[in-house]
């Protein structure tokens, strides 16, 4: 996720506005920054890796000349956070500059084609191919907007882009496909940005570009066309009534709620991983004699789920381990045949990095799944995957958890195929279900938002909660309980349901709420017995189950019904969502700040 801001002014310099706009988008990305402005037909580009304030001041970017230009704050997805990879990217001759937010999936093949035509690439980004594609199209002696449209038609993946060129110096050309882009108009000029807050000091009159749309901006306004065939789209401006603070969170009161609601988008991002990295990790995992899945907190819960995925799909035993325990628990058995897959949103968690040091010292193969390009994990792992969730600001992990599960499920499927453990049809069917998950999450969010709020009202006075699930759903229960604990500070327990009768059941008395996670699947029939055990001791049963599951519904006091047809192995992704909402609304109901729970840091970099 990156931040884009651009503008064409009637008079005055654009660069201070770009600086200000990007500062307001810093939450979207912060590892590099760059501006391109045009004055008197000359394109000027300045960029570097680093925080916005540092880079802008060092390179004096806020005094770059020109009344029109674009700027970008980067959150790396392809290529490390270095100067060459910072946006804008230019064509071979430096006549045009492009900024981009998103992931171009077919960039490798396009790059090869352009290299064969003699184009000279400077970066390792997917974005740079867009500049060269446009340059190539311009050789056909067509107008800039036509060249941009033709280039866009060749792109697969997600993008919000803005292009400026000295061949048409009064215009910004922009487009959107699955990455946000908004246009704003004031008496002083026209603007584009990834998000409304960037332009709110200048205008509250905006138009949101939709997927597959292209827009030309000049100092007097904008024109929108369809990328597919160039048809002009008539769409008027709307007025934004948000305050600046509200706009930063896209109208949500907290980043956590924004991030919970972003999950359909972040999950779609996690389905667009580069296949060659997935293949590399799969091959290395396949070679391991012992596989360990190492992580802390929420990421550890993703590892527990992954151990079920690897076993059920690929028939592989993978040991989940809490990173702070790994050295004691398994350290002595790690050797050259061990593969250690480390899962860490930040890629900087101290305990996980210590476990990695140990594994590397003993010649184990360290692999990573992380959300942070350039993090320590990406530097020390033999191979890694960036999970593409976009930055997460709330301290509680939400969208990064579901994306981790999405990545791990894809690895499990590839391993299963590689080892011949699923038939072609079974594999295709699972893949189909995987692709449906973002839509299922979208439906869950819209269906349950208000209902979960009403449950919070009903249960807000409770002093203890218990979460139970069987099989892979025990990881959902553990994660739901962690969210409740860390945000609302309500004592709670989570166990695999079958284990509860070996001790935890003694805490159950009349009225204790027990939340059961019970999707359809192999564990479904066993959970009924666990519900009966709890009911017999007076527990109040709240179930998250498949819609129309009459037996579970009949046994429950309250039910969150989930869409039908979700594969059990994938169920933790949608099933955790209403429980994230429950923790969020409970924290708010108690007057707590869910974005900043007490005693916690987003990234725990200390022993
Ligand atoms: O960055 P990491 O994924 O390595 O972080 C691990 C934990 O610190 C993190 O998941 C923590 O448990 C969150 N507060 C959970 O919401």
383-409 average pLDDT score: 93
603 lines ligand 1 (CB under 6 A): yes
pLDDT for the residue 179: 82
29 lines ligand 1 (CB under 6 A): no
Within 8 A by CB and 6+ apart from 355, the residues are: 294, 321, 323, 324, 326, 327, 340, 342
Share of the chain above pLDDT 70, in %: 98
- How far from each other are the two terminal CA atoms of the chain, in whole angstroms? 30
pLDDT for the residue 1: 66
Homologous superfamily of domain range 3-248: Aminohydrolase, N-terminal nucleophile (Ntn) domain (3.60.20.10)
Of 212, 84, 100, the C-alpha closest to 162 is: 100
454-482 average pLDDT score: 97
Of 68, 50, 80, the C-alpha closest to 375 is: 80
The residue whose CA has the least distance to atom 11 of ligand 1 is 297
Distance CA 192, CA 197 (A): 11
pLDDT for the residue 379: 86
Cα-to-centroid distance, 308 and ligand 1 (Å): 21
The residue whose CA has the least distance to atom 12 of ligand 1 is 297
Contact 589, 332 (CB under 8 A): no
Sequence spans of domains, the chain? 3-248, 265-589
Cα-to-centroid distance, 546 and ligand 1 (Å): 29
Whether the pLDDT of residue 168 is over 70: the answer is yes
Whether the pLDDT of residue 62 is over 80: the answer is yes
Cα-to-centroid distance, 458 and ligand 1 (Å): 29
264-289 average pLDDT score: 94
Half-sphere exposure of 130 (CA within 13 A, CB side): 35
Half-sphere exposure of 575 (CA within 13 A, CB side): 36
Output DSSP code: residue 605: -
pLDDT for the residue 461: 96
Whether the pLDDT of residue 374 is over 90: the answer is no
Cα-to-centroid distance, 500 and ligand 1 (Å): 26
Distance CA 51, CA 31 (A): 6
Nearest-atom number in ligand 1 for the CA of 349 is: 4
pLDDT for the residue 597: 87
Of 97, 90, 63, the C-alpha closest to 171 is: 97
403 lines ligand 1 (CB under 6 A): no
Whether the pLDDT of residue 188 is over 80: the answer is yes
129-145 average pLDDT score: 95
Quote the tokens at residue 94: 């430096």
Whether the pLDDT of residue 31 is over 90: the answer is no
296 lines ligand 1 (CB under 6 A): yes
- pLDDT classification of 247: cutoffs 50, 70, 90: low
Within 8 A by CB and 6+ apart from 588, the residues are: 253, 254, 594
Mean residue pLDDT of the chain comes to 93
- 518 φ/ψ angles, rounded to the nearest 5 degrees: -140, 75
Whether the pLDDT of residue 490 is over 90: the answer is yes
345 lines ligand 1 (CB under 6 A): yes
Half-sphere exposure of 46 (CA within 13 A, CB side): 19
395 lines ligand 1 (CB under 6 A): yes
pLDDT digits (tens, 9 = 90+) for 498-515: 999 898 899 999 999 999
pLDDT for the residue 366: 98
Output DSSP code: residue 10: S
pLDDT digits (tens, 9 = 90+) for 545-587: 999 999 999 999 999 999 999 999 999 999 999 999 999 999 9
pLDDT digits (tens, 9 = 90+) for 249-273: 878 999 999 999 999 999 999 998 8
- The question of whether 303 is a catalytic residue gets the answer no
Whether the pLDDT of residue 28 is over 80: the answer is no
pLDDT digits (tens, 9 = 90+) for 295-321: 999 999 999 999 999 999 999 999 999
- pLDDT classification of 348: cutoffs 50, 70, 90: confident
- The question of whether 225 is a catalytic residue gets the answer no
Choice between 240 and 495, residue whose per-residue pLDDT is larger = 495
- pLDDT classification of 606: cutoffs 50, 70, 90: low
Whether the pLDDT of residue 607 is over 70: the answer is no
Catalytic one among 205, 433, 453, 602? 602
pLDDT for the residue 604: 74
394-411 average pLDDT score: 97
Q: Give the residue, out of 254, 299, 352, 375, with the most ligand 1 atoms within 8 A of its beta carbon, to mutate for a pocket test.
A: 299
Quote the tokens at residue 455: 């449950």
Cα-to-centroid distance, 37 and ligand 1 (Å): 40
pLDDT for the residue 29: 66
Catalytic one among 2, 174, 192, 303? 2
Whether the pLDDT of residue 245 is over 80: the answer is no
pLDDT for the residue 25: 83
SS3 per-residue string spanning 73-130? EECCCCCCCCHHHCCCEECCCCCEEEEEEEEECCHHHHHHHHHHCCCCCCCCCCCHHH
Tell the CATH topology of 265-589.
Rossmann fold (3.40.50)
Strand pairing partners for 363? none
Of 23, 21, 28, 20, the C-alpha closest to 3 is: 28
Q: What sign has the CA pseudo-torsion 533, 537, 539, 541?
A: positive
pLDDT for the residue 49: 93
Cα-to-centroid distance, 483 and ligand 1 (Å): 11
DSSP-derived 3-state class of residue 349: coil
Contact 553, 543 (CB under 8 A): yes
- pLDDT classification of 464: cutoffs 50, 70, 90: very high
Contact 419, 555 (CB under 8 A): no
- pLDDT classification of 471: cutoffs 50, 70, 90: very high
Cα-to-centroid distance, 299 and ligand 1 (Å): 6
209-230 average pLDDT score: 96
pLDDT digits (tens, 9 = 90+) for 105-119: 999 999 999 999 999
346 lines ligand 1 (CB under 6 A): yes
The residue whose CA has the least distance to atom 9 of ligand 1 is 297
Distance CA 341, CA 361 (A): 15
116-129 average pLDDT score: 95
The residue whose CA has the least distance to atom 8 of ligand 1 is 297
Distance CA 69, CA 192 (A): 10
DSSP-derived 3-state class of residue 510: coil
């Amino acid at each position: 996720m990156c931040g884009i801001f651009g503008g064409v002014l009637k008079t005055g310099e654009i660069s201070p506005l770009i600086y200000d706009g990007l500062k307001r988008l810093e939450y979207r990305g912060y590892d590099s920054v760059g501006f391109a402005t045009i004055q008197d037909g000359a394109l000027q580009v300045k960029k570097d890796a680093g925080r916005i304030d540092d880079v802008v001041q060092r390179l004096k970017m806020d005094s770059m000349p020109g009344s029109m230009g674009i700027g970008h704050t980067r959150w790396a997805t392809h290529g490390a956070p270095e100067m060459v990879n910072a946006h804008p990217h230019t064509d071979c001759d430096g006549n045009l500059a492009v900024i981009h937010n998103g992931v171009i999936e077919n960039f490798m093949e396009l790059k090869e084609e352009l290299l064969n035509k003699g184009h000279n690439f400077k970066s390792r980004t997917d974005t740079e191919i867009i500049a060269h594609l446009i340059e190539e199209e311009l050789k056909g002696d067509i107008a800039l907007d036509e060249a941009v449209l033709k280039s866009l038609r060749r792109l697969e993946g997600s993008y919000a882009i803005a292009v400026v060129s000295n061949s048409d110096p009064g215009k910004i050309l922009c487009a959107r496909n699955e990455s946000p882009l908004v246009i704003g108009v004031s008496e002083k000029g026209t603007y584009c940005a990834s998000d409304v807050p960037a332009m709110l000091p200048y205008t509250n009159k905006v138009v949101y570009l939709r997927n597959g749309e292209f827009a030309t901006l000049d100092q007097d306004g904008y024109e929108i066309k369809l990328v597919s065939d160039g048809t002009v789209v008539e769409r008027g401006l709307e007025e934004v009534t948000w305050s600046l603070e509200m706009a930063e969170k896209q109208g949500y009161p907290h980043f956590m709620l924004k991030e919970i609601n972003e999950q359909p988008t972040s999950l779609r991002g996690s389905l667009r991983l580069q296949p060659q990295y997935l293949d590399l990790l799969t091959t290395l995992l396949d070679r391991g004699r012992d596989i360990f899945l190492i992580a802390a907190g929420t990421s550890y819960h993703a590892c527990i789920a992954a151990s079920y995925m690897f076993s059920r799909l690929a028939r592989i035993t993978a040991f989940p381990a809490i990173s702070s325990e790994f050295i004691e628990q398994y350290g002595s058995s790690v050797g050259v045949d061990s593969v250690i897959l480390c899962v860490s949103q930040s890629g900087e968690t101290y305990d996980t990095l210590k476990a990695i040091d140990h594994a590397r010292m003993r010649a184990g193969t360290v692999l990573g799944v992380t959300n942070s390009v350039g993090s320590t994990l990406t530097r020390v792992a033999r191979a890694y995957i960036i999970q593409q969730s976009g930055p997460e600001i709330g301290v509680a992990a939400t969208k990064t958890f579901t994306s981790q599960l999405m990545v791990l499920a894809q690895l499990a499927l590839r391993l299963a195929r590689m080892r011949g453990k699923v038939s072609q049809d079974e594999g295709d069917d699972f893949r189909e279900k995987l692709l449906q998950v973002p839509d299922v999450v979208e439906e869950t969010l819209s269906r349950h938002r208000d209902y979960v709020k009403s449950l919070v009202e009903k249960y807000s006075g409770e002093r203890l909660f218990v979460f139970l699930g069987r099989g892979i759903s025990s990881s959902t229960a553990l994660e739901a309980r962690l969210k409740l604990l860390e945000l609302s500070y309500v004592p709670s327990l989570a166990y695999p349901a079958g284990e509860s009768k070996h001790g935890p059941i003694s805490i159950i008395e009349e009225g204790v709420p027990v939340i059961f996670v019970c999707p359809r699947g192999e564990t479904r029939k066993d959970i009924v017995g666990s519900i009966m055990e709890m009911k017999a001791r007076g527990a109040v049963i709240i179930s998250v189950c498949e819609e129309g599951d009459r037996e579970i519904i009949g046994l429950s006091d309250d039910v969150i019904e989930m869409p039908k047809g979700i594969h059990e192995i994938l169920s933790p992704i949608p099933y955790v969502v209403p429980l994230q909402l429950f923790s969020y609304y409970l924290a708010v109901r108690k007057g707590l700040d869910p974005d900043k729970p007490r005693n916690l840091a987003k990234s725990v970099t200390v022993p």
